[in-house]
Each structure stands twice: as C-alpha cells, then as structure tokens.
Amino acid sequence: MVIEKAKKIKLLILDVDGVMTDGRIIIGDDGKELKFFDVKDGHGIKLAHRAGLTTAIISGREAKLVLLRAKELGIEIVYQNTHDKVGICEKILKQKGFSAEETAYIGDDIVDLPIMSKVGFSIAVADALPYVKDAADLVTEKKGGRGAVREAIEFILKAQGHWEKLFERYTG
C-alpha cells in the first residue's frame, strides 16, 4: 500500500526545520541565522528533479538562507512564514494542476499533522515526534537534516521505477 501511494507522487513538499535541517538554529552575535543542510539530501532533490518530480518548501519560519538553498537546488516553489500549510498546499495544487493524491509531504512536528492528513503520501523523519510518526505512511530511518529527505526521495523513485536509470548515470 505504501509503495502504491509512492508510485503516484508528482509533487514533494518539504518542511525545513527538522526535515531539511537537523532542527538546530544558530543565531550569531550579528543576528544572522545559520542552519545545517545535508549535501546528500540536496543531491536527492536534484535526482527527484531529473526524474520529473516537482519539489516545494512550506515553512513556518522565514530565513533568507532557505531561499538561497532552494535556489541552489532548483526548488522554485517556496513559502515561508506561514502557519496555514494546508491552505498553501491547496494553492500550489491548484496552480500546478496536481491532486492531493499525487502529493507527498515530509514533516516532523505537530504543525505538520494537518497537511500530512491531506496529502496522498505522508512521511515523517526518524526523529519526528511520536504522534507525527504515527500519522505518517512512511517513517524514514534517517533523522531530519541527516539524510531523511534523500531516503524518502529514493523510496519514491524506486517505487516509480526511476531509480535504476538515475543510478546508471553514475555507475555506467
């Protein structure tokens, strides 16, 4: 059943803090915010794009560095400083012509539960809160900011039959 859900995915929506990052926020004396992003997660996002998936970010916080990372990875749909993730998701689906069934979301905290219940394939990172993991179709083995996004993407790409072709690009 989980594989069947993953086969339908065309849009992957990501939370940032605790999913694309390990959840730590570093604020320097100058007030600038820093976050840690995993390079393997980033390459996973690039692989998703090569397979034809669309990616988006919906985050409750706002940080310029999220826009910089999104641009670097080719993520064109970015919404920050929003507490209505379901409303933003519906807006994206309408604009891009995707259905909820064709949408996956990766989350880690209580604020992610409403959107996780609306999409076709919900994913929680390994260090998500227990009730978030209980609500998810798939729980990654990797923690947020430590390869969870890559793991989820590989799961989707394998379910859809894209992985072998992408893998061959690197192995000849």
Tell me the mean pLDDT in the region 149-172: 93
Which pLDDT tens digit goes with each residue over 84-114? 999 999 999 999 999 999 999 999 999 999 9
What 3 state SS string does the chain have? Answer: CHHHHHHCCCEEEECCCCCCECCCCEECCCCCEECCECHHHHHHHHHHHHCCCEEEEECCCCCHHHHHHHHHHCCCEEECCCCCHHHHHHHHHHHHCCCHHHEEEEECCHHHHHHHCCCCEEEECCCCCHHHHHHCCEECCCCCCCCHHHHHHHHHHHHCCCHHHHHHHHHC
The model carries a pTM of 0.96
Q: Where is pLDDT greater, at 167 or 112? A: 112
pLDDT of residue 168: 86
Q: Where is pLDDT greater, at 31 or 134? A: 134
Structural domains of the chain in order of their starting residue, each with its CATH number: 2-171 (3.40.50.1000)
pLDDT of residue 172: 76
Say if residue 148's pLDDT is above 90: yes
Task: Please report which confidence band the pLDDT of residue 170 belongs to, taking 50, 70 and 90 as the band edges.
Answer: confident
